[in-house]
Amino acid sequence: MKNTLSAAQRLRLVVAASAAGTTFEWYDFFLAVPLASLIAKLFFAGLDEATAYLFALGSFAAGFAFRPLGAILFGRMGDRLGRKSTFLVTISLMGGATFAIGLLPTMASAGMLAPTLFVLLRIAQGLALGGEWGGAAIYIAEHAPHDRRGYLTSWMGPAAAFGLGLALVVTLAVRTLTGEPAFAAWGWRVPFLLSGVLFILSVWIRLKLHESPLFTQLLQTGSRSAAPLREAFGQWSGIRVALVALLSMMIAQGAVWFTTFLYTQSFLERVLKVPPSIASALMLGLVTLSVPLYLFFGWLSDRIGRKPVMLGGILLATFGIFPVFEALRPAANPALAAAVATQAVVVRADPADCHPQFDPVASKQASTPCDTARALLAKRGIPYTRAALPAGAPVVIHIGAQAVAVAALDATLNTAGYPLTADPSAIHLWRVFLLLSVLVVAATALYGPQAACLVELFPTRIRYTALSLPYHIGTGWVGGMLPAAAYALTVASGDSFFGLWYPVLFCALAAIVMALFLPETRHRQIHLI
């Protein structure tokens, strides 16, 4: 950064460089999302399809589970050694782990070593991400003018969106260029290996930055915290602020954002049987729509306050998730919706013969007829209810008024009108897009002002540590576990929409805590040590 640059130019460079590095880190982390079904086959082969897919989602969740530990490690580093040096370390760890995934052997060639290494590298990514977001958000905020802090920090939203969008675009492009057989054989490695180029570019960009002026002030005055973690969370006053941030903004952020941009794609592909290329195109459109909305809501929070904007987004999600997803079925797969309405499926069996569909250790030696029927229904995305029969009674499946044996279930579902896949020509694309846009508005209204509000809650000397931990517990644990938890609840219950209770209940709790306990922070000065 040269001294000849104007203040406005320096500020634009700070925002651009911070957001660009964050984009590349999110690209690295989100690559597992569009590849979840393929990862299940490559690294968790030998399990039934539903369990393998849950393990793939679980490996995604593993990275999120370790984000709070990364927040502690790198938060302390950021408060002791500086913002710039810390997010150079995090981006190096992320880039190296992602590149290494592209070199991994599969389970077919390396056995259990393959999924073990894959999960370990996902954990390394989670640790890196635990220090990245807070550092970039703080770096922007500590450069931003008071009356533009919400808008400038809201660029963290587009950074995440660009990262997810880049992952979708690169994956789709490589898939199209190589063809599905070659992509499944070796082409899936290409998006991971490309992260090496992004890593070099990210480091080059961030090396051009200087340290945050507020951290420089801490150094000059000798005011750095000697023990940021203890100072942030060693007394009730600090713990209380962190808990309010966690239970208002952060659990809602994890629930709303990950429902909108991650679980939605899984729901479209696994439950509604929308072709992956169409689902990816829809998600890319939603990501594109989100970019101006993040900035708008960040700007709006500078005018009317952080709290009303974020609370509006949480309430929209709380009351909108179920109606949106229920309306998706007839919009995305009209044939499936018609079959569900006229040919309801009921599994009648002795409850003792119906075991959990998620078998983490693959210990079941043989499936019962009830298990076989439910696994098939889960694989085809068909909702069903269960009814108990006396002990020892044979399983009977009712499809509408017709009773069928388990052996004839698959063929009978076909004749009853249950489609194997959604007909692309019958998908109401614009209706699907508009429905999901409601969730995009909710997610961006919450996310846009969020970084500014978090920065304004905590003092400079412990800001990196105090901000990062609640952020990554909320997004890492609540959000990261969402795809696997929601899918597992759906498979276990037989209800296509049952998994949605996971985000809705978190949103409801967050709305109450935010309304009652979160202070408005728009007018706070953050330049105090």
Confidence of residue 51 (pLDDT cuts 50, 70, 90): low
Residue 529 lies inside a defined structural domain of this protein: no
Render pLDDT for 317-339 as a digit per residue (tens, 0 to 9).
Answer: 999 999 999 999 999 999 999 99
Highest mean pLDDT among 7-11, 97-101, 241-245: 241-245
Cβ neighbour number for residue 275 with a 10 Å cutoff: 15
Residue-number span of the structural domain to which 351 is assigned:
335-415
User: Which of 415, 432, 457 is where one domain is finished?
Assistant: 415
Q: Which residues pair with 396 in a beta bridge?
A: 348
Render pLDDT for 150-204 as a digit per residue (tens, 0 to 9).
Answer: 999 999 888 888 888 888 889 889 988 998 889 989 998 999 998 888 888 878 8
Pair 86, 147: CB distance under 8 Å: no
Average pLDDT over residues 293-316: 97
Residue reference for tokens 């961030």: 206
408 and 428 in a common domain: no
Q: Which ranges of 407-500 does DSSP label H, i.e. alpha helix?
A: 409-415, 429-447, 450-457, 463-473, 480-493
376 and 311 in a common domain: no
Q: Is the dihedral of CA 51, 52, 56, 59 positive or negative?
A: positive
Which of 47-51, 299-303, 498-502 is the least confident region? 47-51
CA distances from 456 to 169, 466, 488, 523, 527 (A): 35, 11, 38, 9, 10
Residue 394 lies inside a defined structural domain of this protein: yes
The domain total for the chain is: 2
Which of 85-94, 392-401, 511-520 is the least confident region? 85-94
Cβ neighbour number for residue 34 with a 10 Å cutoff: 25
Based on its alpha-carbon atoms, the radius of gyration of the chain, rounded to whole angstroms, reads 24
Mean of pLDDT over the chain: 86
Residue 2 lies inside a defined structural domain of this protein: no
pLDDT of residue 60: 67
152 and 193 in a common domain: yes
Render pLDDT for 432-458 as a digit per residue (tens, 0 to 9).
Answer: 999 999 999 999 999 999 999 999 999
pLDDT of residue 129: 82
User: Which of 383, 415, 447 is where one domain is finished?
Assistant: 415
Q: What CATH number does residue 392 fall under?
A: 3.40.30.10
pLDDT of residue 249: 95
367 and 226 in a common domain: no
Residue 304 lies inside a defined structural domain of this protein: yes
375 and 294 in a common domain: no
Residue 50: pLDDT over 70: no
Return the amino acid letter for 442: A
Confidence of residue 91 (pLDDT cuts 50, 70, 90): confident
Average pLDDT over residues 335-364: 77
- The pair of three-digit structure tokens given for residue 190, joined into one six-digit string: 């290409």
**Distance between CA atoms of 218 and 224, rounded to whole angstroms?**
5
Q: Which residues pair with 402 in a beta bridge?
A: 399
Residue 229 lies inside a defined structural domain of this protein: yes
**Distance between CA atoms of 362 and 376, rounded to whole angstroms?**
17
501 and 395 in a common domain: no
Confidence of residue 307 (pLDDT cuts 50, 70, 90): very high
Residue 1 lies inside a defined structural domain of this protein: no
Confidence of residue 428 (pLDDT cuts 50, 70, 90): very high
Residue 496: pLDDT over 80: yes
Residue 28 lies inside a defined structural domain of this protein: yes
Query: DSSP letter at 360?
Result: T
**Distance between CA atoms of 143 and 118, rounded to whole angstroms?**
38
388 and 300 in a common domain: no
**Distance between CA atoms of 508 and 129, rounded to whole angstroms?**
27
Q: What percent of the chain has pLDDT over 90?
A: 37
Residue reference for tokens 């079959």: 339
320 and 369 in a common domain: no
- The pair of three-digit structure tokens given for residue 1, joined into one six-digit string: 């950064």
Cβ neighbour number for residue 69 with a 10 Å cutoff: 16
What stretch of H or E contains 271? none
Q: What CATH number does residue 311 fall under?
A: 1.20.1250.20
361 and 315 in a common domain: no
Pair 359, 374: CB distance under 8 Å: no
User: Which of 415, 441, 470 is where one domain is finished?
Assistant: 415
pLDDT of residue 360: 42
Q: Which residues pair with 348 in a beta bridge?
A: 387, 396
- The pair of three-digit structure tokens given for residue 376, joined into one six-digit string: 């098939």
Q: Which residues of 372-389 are buried (b: 16+ CB within 10 A; e: fewer)?
A: ebbbbbbebbbbbeeeeb
Q: Which of 261, 322, 276, 191 minimizes the C-alpha distance to 480?
A: 261
101 and 70 in a common domain: yes
479 and 453 in a common domain: yes
Confidence of residue 527 (pLDDT cuts 50, 70, 90): low
Residue 85 lies inside a defined structural domain of this protein: yes
pLDDT of residue 319: 97
18 and 154 in a common domain: yes
Residue 359: pLDDT over 50: no
